[in-house]
Structure 1
Amino acid sequence: MLLRTLSAALLSLPLVANAATFTTLVPEKSEIQFHYEQMGVNMDGFFKGIDGSLHFDTDAPEKAQVTLEVQMQSVDTGSEEADSEVVKKEWFNASDFPTATFKAQSITPKADNEYEVAGLLSIKGHEQTIRFPAKVETTDEQATFSGSFSLLRGDYAIGEGAWSKFDIVANDVRIDFTIIATP
């Protein structure tokens, strides 16, 4: 009877996930979306080409190393015409700057599975330090890093010449990301 009661009590305890280290980015499952306004209309798109390296230990998140590279030619706005336009010199200048890069400089735990991330974002040869909240959900097989941040396209010279004004295409751009990694 005591053994049965003890077994039942142990089975009712919540399971604690084992510590894990995630080192392999899974590009085909990862996603980077962008959201902006054009002539007062909400617009969306995403990048299909994501690569990089990471090392995230659930027991030592502050020691994490993350570098993400986004292939600018992989943009998908939902329109072939717009896709071919935004890779031109006035916008992403993808021929001279084929990748945008984010390199984490610090990852600070804030709450369970919640972090403040700071790092250097480089787009089109322009760099800015950005900070944003992120969440990390883990299983033994996978870590899902998600979050959102805003940037000003003017800070990165995205939209030059006639497009440098913000009356047609807004300056504010929101980036949402989901990055998948495995051990």
Structure 2
Amino acid sequence: MSVPALAAVVRVDNAKSNVAITFKQMNVPVDAKFKKFAANIDYNAANPETSKANVEIELASFDLGDAEYNKEVLKKEWFNAAQFPKATFVSTGMKANGAGKLVVTGTLTIKGKAANVSFPMTVKQEGANQVFDGTLPIKRLTFNIGEGEWKDTGMVADEVAIKFHVVTTQ
């Protein structure tokens, strides 16, 4: 029995996909990315409410473009990657919100702290591939990212945008 293309677990094309963040340091936007992540997506275009997704991000793959900064953010005050090597997102629901648009809800866990989140996502077909794009806004202090002197949001803002571009392949 073959599974219809509209309702299948899809493979992620890691070469074309990315997870990045933007935050402000001293009121200047800073972009960074995670080099390693895995996503499992079971997407049903005909019935998005039955769709599911989960993502695991390897925190040690965080790249600010500078080796010293990369090492710093893995420390206990920031990601504490030694104790919490991965951040995870597990969807709890997807709802259609217009053509090619979804509202995704789920649980985001970073540094052992879980929070319910909701964000808009777009889905489009490109040939045989599907492309999922979205931005998940979070507050870093909700997840204890930036402890001690780094709790002060005057230097590093509390608001962080997690941006993802996931391309699937058949």
- TM-score if structure 1 supplies the norm length? 0.86
Residue 74 of structure 2 corresponds to which residue in structure 1?
87
Aligned with 2:25 (options 13, 19, 38):
38
Once the 2 structures are TM-superposed, how far is the Cα of residue 28 of structure 1 from its aligned partner? 2.6
Give the distance between the partners of 2:130 and 2:144, measured in 1 at CA.
33
**More helix by percentage:** 1
User: In the alignment, does 2:108 pair up with 1:121?
Assistant: yes
- TM-score if structure 2 supplies the norm length? 0.92
- Contact 2:9/2:40 (8 A) holds in 1: no
Residue 159 of structure 2 corresponds to which residue in structure 1?
172
Give the distance between the partners of 1:52 and 1:33, measured in 2 at CA.
14
Give the distance between the partners of 2:137 and 2:63, measured in 1 at CA.
19
Residue 5 of structure 1 corresponds to which residue in structure 2?
none
- Contact 1:72/1:87 (8 A) holds in 2: yes
Residue 13 of structure 1 corresponds to which residue in structure 2?
none
Once the 2 structures are TM-superposed, how far is the Cα of residue 23 of structure 1 from its aligned partner? 1.7
Kindly report which structure 2 residues correspond to 1:12-27, keeping only aligned pairs within 5 A, or say none: 19=6, 21-27=8-14
Residue 53 of structure 1 corresponds to which residue in structure 2?
40
Once the 2 structures are TM-superposed, how far is the Cα of residue 22 of structure 1 from its aligned partner? 4.7
SS at match of 1:130: strand
Higher-Rg structure is 1
SS at match of 2:81: coil
Residues 81-107 of structure 1 deviation map (CA, whole Å, 9 limit, x = unaligned)? 111100111100111111000001100
Q: Which runs of 5+ in 1 are unaligned?
A: 1-17
Aligned with 2:83 (options 84, 92, 96):
96
SS at match of 2:97: strand
Give the distance between the partners of 2:147 and 2:59, measured in 1 at CA.
17
User: In the alignment, does 2:81 pair up with 1:76?
Assistant: no
Give the residue type in structure 1 aligned to 2:86.
Answer: T
Give the distance between the partners of 2:38 and 2:6, measured in 1 at CA.
25
% same residue: 32
Kindly report which structure 2 residues correspond to 1:148-159, keeping only aligned pairs within 5 A, or say none: 148-159=135-146
Give the residue type in structure 2 aligned to 1:126.
Answer: K
- Contact 2:7/2:42 (8 A) holds in 1: no
Once the 2 structures are TM-superposed, how far is the Cα of residue 176 of structure 1 from its aligned partner? 1.2
- Contact 2:20/2:163 (8 A) holds in 1: yes
Residue 109 of structure 1 corresponds to which residue in structure 2?
96
